[in-house]
């Protein structure tokens, strides 16, 4: 059994709404944010990234920004099964939260981009997201906006004609690296030593999490920090039945199209069959068919629906799915590509209730407060 340990490092809480957090602040339960050597954080760059993140002009219909699918009032998700972009077109993937994405070793559900910088370049030019054919309209908008021109000159020391998408990506990524949140009841209990920070049900749920539930195998908790992800890819049975019996043909067609120059980002978001290939689309390894990245469980109470396709509507649905060994119903066929360790858990009703209670203990106060405030303002 894991033991509670005293916390180490800075404990201040990074706010998710309002003023940006001080550079270098790290919430309880999280490690320092990794910062690329070629993209150091500065307050001016972060503020520029904030504006770029929320600018709807960077889309074909002038209605879609990064914040459309990663809404701060919805824990930086959109609470939809799959996201809706340009002209309301629907993709094939659920929008993961930006909160703590800075700790992810790869981006997107299939890990097709290695960094936040690279990830930020894709949505504007995806036909079901931003809808632009290329990045030229974004650069034109920026170069003709006096406030942007001044900001890019201050941050990157470039003239309007010298502004590139590399600069844009670095600014957005810098902003996203400030969207971090820890200090949850679990963090205060496990790392901070506050014995009453979690309820008895939540503590029992933690024992299920690390014990019979085996959740910790992929949603890792370490001695001094907890990202609740192993940054790896697993086939847990989600979505596979949609391509069952057709995998070989779909994989062959995908590889042929990829070899002929098809854009992987566009293909997996517009072709439902190709989307279910998961990590295979990147690795081209058949053992990665239908394998998707382990998401963080932090703030999961606020980021429904769940899984890469948004197929599990509630925490109860998700726990039942795992309890059935990667199947919606116990009698569903088992995927031949299922990752090892995915098998029925035989949890009791009480254990399932306690596990859900524990998952709710992973909500950061700042994220909950932002969501509640947005809901109140909408009324």
Annotated binding site: 66, 69-70, 215, 218-219
Are 173 and 49 a contacting pair, CB within 8 Å?
A: yes
β-pair type (292-293, 233-234)? antiparallel
Distance separating alpha carbons of residues 250 and 320, to the nearest angstrom: 29
Known binding residues for heme c: 66, 69-70, 215, 218-219
Tokens at 32, concatenated? 């320092």
Task: Give long-range contacts, CB 8 A cutoff, 24+ apart: 121-125.
Answer: 121/165, 121/168, 121/169, 122/265, 123/66, 123/69, 123/85, 124/58, 124/59
Element containing residue 151 per DSSP (H, E): helix 146-156
Q: Is 278 helix (H, G, I), strand (E, B) or coil?
A: strand
* Nearest one of 289, 281, 287, 284 to 242, comparing CA atoms: 289
Distance separating alpha carbons of residues 83 and 270, to the nearest angstrom: 12
Tokens at 46, concatenated? 């972060």
Q: Is 229 helix (H, G, I), strand (E, B) or coil?
A: coil
248 to 112, 183, 212: CA distances (angstroms): 21, 46, 35
Question: Which residues, at least 6 apart from 13, have a Cβ–Cβ distance to it below 8 Å?
Answer: 21, 25, 27, 28, 181, 182, 183, 364, 365, 366
Tokens at 199, concatenated? 């309820």
Element containing residue 150 per DSSP (H, E): helix 146-156
Q: What are phi and psi of 71, to 5 degrees?
A: -80, 120
Burial zone of 248 (CB within 10 Å; 0-12 exposed, 13-18 middle, 19+ buried): exposed
* Nearest one of 32, 87, 125, 75 to 362, comparing CA atoms: 75
Residues forming a β-bridge with 233: 293
Are 299 and 181 a contacting pair, CB within 8 Å?
A: yes
């Amino acid at each position: 059994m894991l033991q509670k340990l005293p916390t180490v490092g800075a404990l201040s809480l990074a706010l998710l709404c309002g003023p940006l957090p001080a550079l270098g602040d790290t919430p309880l339960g999280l490690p320092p944010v990794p910062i690329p050597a070629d993209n150091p954080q500065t307050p001016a760059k972060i503020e520029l990234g904030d504006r770029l993140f929320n600018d709807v002009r960077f889309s074909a219909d002038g209605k879609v920004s990064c914040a459309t699918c990663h809404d701060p009032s919805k824990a930086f998700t959109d609470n939809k099964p799959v996201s809706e972009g340009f002209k309301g077109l629907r993709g094939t993937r659920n929008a993961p939260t930006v909160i703590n994405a800075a700790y992810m070793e790869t981006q997107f559900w299939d890990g097709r981009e290695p960094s936040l910088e690279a990830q930020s370049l894709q949505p504007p030019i995806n036909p079901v997201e931003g809808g632009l054919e290329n990045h030229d309209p974004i650069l034109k908008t920026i170069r003709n906006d006096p406030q942007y021109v001044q900001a890019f000159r201050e941050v990157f020391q470039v003239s309007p004609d010298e502004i590139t998408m590399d600069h844009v990506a670095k600014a957005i990524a810098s902003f996203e690296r400030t969207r971090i949140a820890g200090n949850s009841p679990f963090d205060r209990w496990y790392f901070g030593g506050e014995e009453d920070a979690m309820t008895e049900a939540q503590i029992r749920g933690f024992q299920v999490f690390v014990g019979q539930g085996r959740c910790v195998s992929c949603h890792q908790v370490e001695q001094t920090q907890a990202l609740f992800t192993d940054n790896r890819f697993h086939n847990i049975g989600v979505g596979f039945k949609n391509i069952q019996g057709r995998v070989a043909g779909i994989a062959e067609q995908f590889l042929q199209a990829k070899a002929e120059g098809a854009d992987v980002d566009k293909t997996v978001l517009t072709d439902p069959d190709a989307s279910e290939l998961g990590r295979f689309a990147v690795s081209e390894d058949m053992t990665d068919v239908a394998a998707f990245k382990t998401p963080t469980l932090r703030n999961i109470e606020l980021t429904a629906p769940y899984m890469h396709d948004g197929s599990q509507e509630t925490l109860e649905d998700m726990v039942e799915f795992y309890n059935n060994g990667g199947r919606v119903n116990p009698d569903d066929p088992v995927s031949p590509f299922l990752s090892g360790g995915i098998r029925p858990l035989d949890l009791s009703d009480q254990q399932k209730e306690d596990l859900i209670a524990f998952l709710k203990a992973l909500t950061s106060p700042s994220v909950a407060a932002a969501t509640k405030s947005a809901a109140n303002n909408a009324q």
